[in-house]
Structures are given as C-alpha cells and as structure tokens.
C-alpha cells in the first residue's frame, strides 16, 4: 500500500518496458504505412541519375553528382585549395547547366558556396518534385504524418517523468527509471526529427542501383535533359556520394580537405577537348582562370 500508484519500482519498470516496446512498434507501423502510400506511379518510371542521388542523400548529393559530372566532362576543374574553376564549354544537360550557372560570373568558386547557390535553382528542385510525383519521395504532408509515430513514445515519456518526480519526492531510488527515460527521450527525438523520406518503391529503386550500378548504367539516363546513358563513375557518386569516387586524389580534391596532391588532380580532372592538358587549364585564358 505504500508503493506510489500501487506499483513497486520493479513492477512499474516492467510495465514501462512493455509500453516502450508497444510505442516503438506503433511508431514503426505508422512509418511503414506512410512509406507504402503514393507509390502507384513508381513502377513504370525509369531510373534517372539525379533521382537516385536525391533518394540516396538529398539535394546535397544531387549537386555533388552534377559537380562530379561537370569535372568528368571537362566543364570544371579542381584545384589544390579545393576551388572549382569554370573550364570549357557549357553543358546542355539542364541540372549541370544550372549548377554551372549558379557560379555566376566568378571563374573560381568553392564547393560550399556553390552548393548554397545551386540547391535552390528550379532545375535542382525539379528533381525532388519529379521524384515525389513518381511516388519515390514522400511529400511534406506525408512526412509530417510520419512524425506522428513519435506521439505514443512521447506520452510514455510523460508518464515516466511523472513517476520520476513522484519517486524523487518520496525519496525512492529512481536510477533505473532515469536511464529508461533517457533512452525514451532519445528515441522520441529521433522519431520526431527523422521522419521517413523515401517510399518503399524509392528504397527498392535505390537498393537496386547500389547493387548493380555497373551493369545498370545503360538503363540510367540524365532525366528530362536527355536519355543518354550516364557514365558508371557518375552513377557511383549519385548512389554512394564521395565513396563512389574511385580516384583518391580526385575524391580528396572534391570532397576532402586540402591535400598535397591537389595539383595533380587539377591536371587529371580537366580532360575535355577545350581544356585537354594541364597547361591549357592553368592560370591562362584556356579555362578563363
């Protein structure tokens, strides 16, 4: 009769653990329901490299994929200090064109400011809109529904806090309950802040591309800009990010800190006919440097 709420500490912890499991199952059920919705149009849509990039890493990966494609095509070159220098002709592909245009009149620009300028362009944002139309990405409203999966866990946290306060007031040991509460709060925050982004169809498409990116390259196009096949190296960046760059020197120049090998990446990463050698890609007018 002296136990608060008529439950001993171990009894309450047992009920709390059961409630935690039920709340977690409910959260997963809500998220699964949200991800299963709106995928009717996804089956017939062919994969496109920027859609795969958005599925894998969001807008940042889309811009990184376009930057890497521009470097591979000779439209940009990388420098020792991590700067990207406009080099060669203007590409016809819309997303690459938008990223290059985002550099403005500057001949050299760093990757971070280029990201900030390029991510808001209509061409880049159009990738997300197309993926949502095809049922591969969740729209904002459905993502908000996915956050509702955190509500049962939040209610459980409220009950746990009330019990903790009551236990402290009565001088009862509350160490284990505090640990349970800490875990519950962390899970609640993660469920609320990280709603699902991809639908089930989107997750399946991305998984297939990751597994067979070498063989599937011929079926992956650039999107609305044309149906030509995407190089395997560009597809690797789209689905894996920086890990998809097989050349460590180029990977460091594009995604890492300044390295001593940056000068060699400048000459090796600018290989188009209009900028075909390290001498024409240097400080002279061949690349507008």
Structure tokens at 3: 């136990």
pLDDT of 219 reads 61
- 3-state class of 275 per DSSP? helix
Task: Confirm if 103 and 86 have CB atoms less than 8 A apart.
Answer: yes
Token readout for 84 is 């990207």
* Cα separation, 54 vs 50, whole angstroms: 6
Quote the mean pLDDT of the chain: 81
What gap in Å lies between CA 10 and CA 244, rounded to an integer?
Answer: 51
Report d(CA 275, CA 255) in Å as an integer: 22
Q: Which of 131, 126, 115 is nearest to 56 (CA)?
A: 131
Strand 83-86 vs strand 76-78: parallel, antiparallel, or unpaired? antiparallel
Q: For the whole model, what pTM was predicted?
A: 0.74
Q: Say what the pLDDT of residue 156 is.
A: 96
Mean pLDDT across 185-206:
92
Helices (H), the chain: 9-36, 49-72, 94-102, 111-118, 122-133, 140-147, 151-169, 175-193, 200-211, 232-240, 248-255, 262-268
Looking at the predicted structure, is the pLDDT value of residue 84 above 60? yes
Q: What burial letters (b/e) apply to 13-48, b meaning 16+ CB within 10 Å?
A: beebeebbeebbebbeebbeebbeebbeebeebebb
Q: How confident is the model at residue 230 (pLDDT cuts 50, 70, 90)?
A: confident
Angle at 251 (CA atoms; ends 65, 222), nearest 5 degrees: 15
Share of the chain above pLDDT 90, in %: 42
Look at residue 270 and tell me whether its pLDDT is greater than 50. Answer: no
In this structure, what token pair is assigned to residue 202?
């989107």
Q: For residues 139 and 135, give the distance between their C-alpha atoms in angstroms, rounded to a whole number.
A: 9
Tell me what pLDDT residue 128 has: 93
pLDDT digits (tens, 9 = 90+) for 154-182: 999 999 999 999 999 988 899 999 999 99
The DSSP bridge partners found for residue 78 are 84
Query: For the segment 45-74, what is each residue's pLDDT rounded down to a tens digit?
Result: 567 899 999 999 999 999 999 999 999 888
Q: Report domain extents, the chain.
A: 4-36+141-193, 49-138+197-278
For residues 247 and 256, the answer to whether their CB atoms sit within 8 Å is no
């Amino acid at each position: 009769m002296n136990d608060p709420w008529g439950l001993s500490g171990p009894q309450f912890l047992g009920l709390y653990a059961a409630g935690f499991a039920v709340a977690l199952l409910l959260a997963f059920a809500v998220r699964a329901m949200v991800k299963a919705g709106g995928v009717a149009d996804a089956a017939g849509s062919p994969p496109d490299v920027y859609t795969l990039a958005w599925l894998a890493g969001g807008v940042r990966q889309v811009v990184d994929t376009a930057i890497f494609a521009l470097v591979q095509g000779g439209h940009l070159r990388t420098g020792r200090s991590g700067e990207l220098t406009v080099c060669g002709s203007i590409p016809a592909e819309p997303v690459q064109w938008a990223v290059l245009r985002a550099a403005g009149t500057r001949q050299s620009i760093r990757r971070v400011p280029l990201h900030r300028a390029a991510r808001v362009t209509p061409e880049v944002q159009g990738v997300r809109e197309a993926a949502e139309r095809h049922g591969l990405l969740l729209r904002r409203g459905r993502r908000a529904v996915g956050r509702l999966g955190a509500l049962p866990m939040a209610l459980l946290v409220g009950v746990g806090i009330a019990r903790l306060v009551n236990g402290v007031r009565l001088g009862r040991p509350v160490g284990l309950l505090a640990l349970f509460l800490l875990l519950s709060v962390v899970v609640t925050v993660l469920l609320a802040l990280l709603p699902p982004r991809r639908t089930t169809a989107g997750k399946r498409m991305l998984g297939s591309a990751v597994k067979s990116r070498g063989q599937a390259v011929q079926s992956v196009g650039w999107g609305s800009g044309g149906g030509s096949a995407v190089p395997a190296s560009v597809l690797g960046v789209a689905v894996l990010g920086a890990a998809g760059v097989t050349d460590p020197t180029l990977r460091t120049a594009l995604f890492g800190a300044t390295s001593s090998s940056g000068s060699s990446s400048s000459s090796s990463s600018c290989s188009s006919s209009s900028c075909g050698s390290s001498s024409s890609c240097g400080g002279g007018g061949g690349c507008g440097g």
